[in-house]
Amino acid sequence: MNPMPFRHRAARPRTERRRPLLNALLAAALFVGIAAPHAARAGDVPRLEVDATWPKPLPNNWIIGQVGGITVDSQGHIWIIQRPRSLTDDEKGAALTPPRSKCCIAAPPVMEFDADGNMLRAWGGPGPGYEWVGREHGIEVDDKGFVWIGGNADNDNAILKFTADGKFVAQIGKIAPSKGSNDTTQLGKPAETAIDEAGRELYVADGYGNRRVIVFDADTLAYKRHWGAYGNKPNDEKQGAYDPKAPVAQQFGNPVHCVKLSNDGLVYVCDRINNRIQVFKKDGTFVKEWFFEKNTLGNGAVWDIAIWPDPKQTYLLSADGENNEIRILKRDDGSVVGSFGRNGRNAGQFHWIHAMAVDQKGNVYTAEVDTGKRIQKFKLTSDALK
């Protein structure tokens, strides 16, 4: 009601008389717009909200450094590989001699968490029978419980295989100089691995030194095949800096930063610096490619991929550590249907988002390097799993 005292006044124009009704309708529309992101509908595009309480505080006065890899195992547990040597003296002050401060001590490189954020176990570092990597990069856990890790320091040209409790099993390659993108015995600073459980094959995004995908038998570790961009034979010729105006690169750039496998037999590869995802069949036959944020310079726009866990694997999530966002893509055509995140320090923001993983419930876990040095969880709020 109008709070003004009654007095005679000229009739208002019709549009003005209707304004209260229009305002009411606008308010209702705004209310629906605010509520809509939380209304679950079958077939929704994934919508996620950060869980600022995850993970729970670490035990033993531990702190983590740059997180070089993250994955989810068949039990829904989250595994990370982090870089204790990336911590500054200020961050690991309690470990100095004499101690500089009350906190903290570097956590072990390999850590396992449950979905609630409880740390379950931790291990890693030098041990008998193997040489530990110089800079931790990439982690995968197969259905048999074996943990596969790599590294991207100068001589980290191997993949190490451990049991879930950290017992060394075997390795591919050596912590020694690389032999190039067509050698079948040595790797080239591999970035990430993926397991084809049905075929028991290990796919390697290889990597920061080499320019290829290479495949090994996951049990015998025997070499199977490898390929470069467009399914061609890779080479190690010097490449110039990425130029968005230049012709499309016919070789992968460095790093070949991720490899993921879908249930329908496709292999997705992150060509990070060239801002593209290339898609192959398992034998290396090229299928298609998609470009994203082609004008992105620096460290590139395609850092990692996670495949959405609905029955059709409808979507891909693509982490972009230069623009610090996660894009949601339709897997059939690569079109962008959503995104979340931005550069920043607050919960839900990123600084150099480096890797990510998604569990069977649609929760997304992210890992950051450089000065980010953290992991985050994003909980699914839409009905995107049917």
| Per-residue pLDDT reduced to its tens digit, 206-218 | 999 999 999 999 9
Round to whole Å and give the CA distance between 207 and 172: 14
Does some domain include residue 192? Answer: yes
Does some domain include residue 270? Answer: yes
Does some domain include residue 369? Answer: yes
Does some domain include residue 247? Answer: yes
* Interval 35-94: pLDDT, tens: 333 333 445 899 999 999 999 999 999 999 999 999 999 999 999 999 999 999 999 999
pLDDT of 8 strictly over 70: no
Does some domain include residue 41? Answer: no
Q: Which residue has the tokens 């079958």?
A: 42
Does some domain include residue 7? Answer: no
* Coil, helix or strand at residue 230: helix
pLDDT of 354 strictly over 50: yes
Does some domain include residue 208? Answer: yes
Q: What is the DSSP string of 319-371?
A: EETTTTEEEEEETTT--EEEEE--BSSSTT-BSSEEEEEE-TTS-EEEEE-TT
How is residue 218 written in tokens? 């996951």
Domain count, the chain: 1
* pLDDT at site 330: 98
Does some domain include residue 341? Answer: yes
How is residue 33 written in tokens? 């717009």
State the maximum Cα–Cα separation within the chain, in Å, rounded to a whole number.
97
pLDDT of 197 strictly over 50: yes
Domain that holds residue 265: 48-380
* pLDDT at site 43: 59
* Interval 277-292: pLDDT, tens: 999 999 999 999 999 9
Round to whole Å and give the CA distance between 376 and 364: 8
* pLDDT at site 14: 45
The residue type of 296 is: T
How is residue 251 written in tokens? 């070789």
* pLDDT at site 24: 47
* pLDDT at site 98: 97
Mean pLDDT in residue range 140-162: 98
The domain that contains 353 carries what CATH number?
2.120.10.30
> Rounded to two decimals, what is the model's pTM?
0.88
pLDDT of 12 strictly over 70: no
Average pLDDT across the chain, whole number: 91
* pLDDT at site 25: 43
* Interval 16-27: pLDDT, tens: 444 554 444 444
